Amino acid sequence: MKTLSVATHAREEMVDVTDRVRAAVAEVGVQAGICLVYSPHTTCAVTVNEGWDPDVQADAVRHLRSLVPRDAGYASDSHIKTIAVGPSVLLPIDGGQVRLGRWQAVFLCEFDGPRQRELWVQVR
């Protein structure tokens, strides 16, 4: 298992970790299989979504903020946002590379930053 250290810089943000996940997979050398990207944090999630247009990430964060506003009396809005997005993604590996759609990217979703986070990458 490979551990990626990821610094976040805002309370809520999506950090593109695609290149780092690709590098972790290349390092292992598996030609065909799967890659699990997992967040061991309860206020930080992982997702795959649009990676080309940064407005998409801003929209996603804004939408989650509107669904679970910080000042609406929740004891921890960040935990609920993490439950909604989920702690992991499972990605196919083919030809020694992570296979993503043309515009897709892998994101760490921060909901209680800024912090130093870890992502665990398991390749089989």
Q: What is the pTM of this model?
A: 0.95
90: confidence class by pLDDT, cuts 50, 70, 90: very high
* Residue 19 confidence (pLDDT): 98
* Residue 94 confidence (pLDDT): 97
Q: Which residue has the tokens 């020694």?
A: 96
* Amino acid at site 65: R
Residue boundaries of the structural domains of the chain: 2-123
Phi-psi region of 76 (alpha: psi -120 to 50; beta: other; left: phi over 0): beta
pLDDT digits (tens, 9 = 90+) for 12-34: 999 999 999 999 999 999 999 99
Collapsing DSSP to helix, strand or coil, 97 comes out as strand
CATH of 2-123, one of 2.30.40.10, 3.40.50.1390, 3.40.50.11540, 2.60.120.460: 2.60.120.460
Residue 49 has pLDDT above 90, yes or no: yes
**Long-range contacts from 19-24, C-beta under 8 angstroms, 24+ separation:** 21/91, 21/98, 21/106, 21/119, 21/121, 22/97, 22/98, 24/121, 24/123
